[in-house]
Amino acid sequence: MDNRPIGVMDSGIGGLTVVRSILELCPRESILYLGDTARNPYGEKADSWIMKCGEELKNFLIARGVKMVVVACNTITFHEPPLFYQDTVPVIGMSTDYSSAGAARKVGIFATPASIRTHAHKKALQSVWPDMETAEVPCEGLAHAIESGEGRAVLKNMLEEAVYQYDAGDIDMILFGCTHYPLIEDLFRELFPSAVFFDPGAVTAERASGILKTCHMEADGDGESHFCFTKKSEQESCLIKKFLHRKEKAEEIRIAGE
């Protein structure tokens, strides 16, 4: 047994969707969450900048004694080299195991521009279903708008424009390629009422849970979580309470390189 916390890192608040999935599977675990809200958004930045910031976030968590690091950010996951995932504790990125997603006629991959540039989601899907049609939709600015607490009308308009621009109106499955997007799943469902939704965050949580069991690292106490952000506003604490049903307050911290 191991009661050290699981470290979860993201460019901002989106990784809380992965935390929810982890705690649903592993309610006794503690979480140390780190969201880089001061430097968000990552999804429109250069590859080298993303890699540098990702390394800083990981090092912060490991220095604080976590037993595992979950990179709850697609943009960071697909830009870091293999060496990034070899460390003193298990380090896992967002899952690209889409075998349970089910075959669809056309899948809409909604992600940040930086994630879309890697084509990681498309390659993973087509490795299972080579003939699957995909529409890659780089939703420029959407993650940051969610971070900033923009209203429903603004967010819906941004989403509609992206769908129109990238010919994604006839999709029958939506793949959330950014952990921020499940926070506005209701808006996606308004636009795509008949579509099937697939959230890799749930599969990532299953992978994390499996590693804990295999390595005998599961917690046997009452989990106590801490949520840290490099720039704090009221939104983080409200989201923790609303989305995770937890009373913990957000804490503002500084990391090297910020």
Instruction: Please tell me the distance from the alpha carbon of residue 47 to that of residue 189, in angstroms, as a whole number.
Output: 32
Are 194 and 207 in a shared domain?
Answer: no
Is the same domain home to 183 and 125? Answer: yes
Query: What CATH number corresponds to the domain at position 18?
Result: 3.40.50.1860
Classify residue 139: in a domain, yes or no: yes
Rounded to the nearest 10°, the torsion over CA 119, 125, 129, 130 is 10
Average pLDDT over residues 131-143: 93
One domain, residues 81 and 128: no
- Spatial neighbors of 213 by CB under 8 A, at least 6 apart, are none
Both tokens of 118, joined, read 């890697």
Query: Is 215 known to be catalytic?
Result: no
Residues 195 and 110 in one domain: yes
Q: How far apart are the first and last CA of the chain?
A: 35
Domain, as residue range, for 56: 6-94+202-252
Q: Could you tell me if 171 and 226 lie in one domain?
A: no
* Catalytic site residue from 53, 73, 139, 228: 73
Residue whose pair of structure tokens reads 């793949």 in the numeric block: 175
Residue type, 43: G
Residue 101 lies inside a defined structural domain of this protein: no
Greater model confidence, 44 or 103: 44
Distances 94 to 48, 119, 182, 199, 204 between C-alpha atoms, Å: 19, 14, 14, 10, 6
Q: Given 158, 179, 201, which residue is the final one in a domain?
A: 201
Q: 200 near 73, Cβ under 8 Å?
A: no
Tens of pLDDT, residues 227-246: 999 998 878 888 888 878 77
Tell how far CA 200 is from the center of its chain.
Answer: 8
Same-domain status, 115 and 237: no
pLDDT of residue 105: 85
User: Per the structure, how many domains does the chain have?
Assistant: 2
Least confident of 46-50, 99-103, 251-255: 99-103
Distance CA 223, CA 146 (A): 28
Task: Tell me if residue 178 is catalytic.
Answer: yes
Token pair belonging to 122: 């498309």
- What pLDDT digit, counting tens, does each position of 50-80 carry? 999 999 999 999 999 999 999 999 999 999 9
Active-site position among 178, 215, 228, 238: 178
Q: Pick from 201, 229, 244: which residue ends a domain? A: 201
Reported as type and span, the H/E element at residue 34 is: strand 31-35
Q: Helices 16-25 and 200-214: crossing angle, nearest 10°? A: 50
User: What's the whole-number average pLDDT of the chain?
Assistant: 92
SS3 137: strand
> Residue 257 falls within a domain, yes or no?
no
- The verdict on 186 and 207 lying in the same domain is no
What pLDDT is attached to residue 258?
A: 65
Residue-wise pLDDT tens digits, 176-228:
999 999 999 999 999 999 999 999 999 999 999 999 999 999 999 888 899 99
Residues 186 and 148 reside in one and the same domain: yes
Q: Is there a domain that residue 99 lies in?
A: no
Residue 1 lies in a domain: no
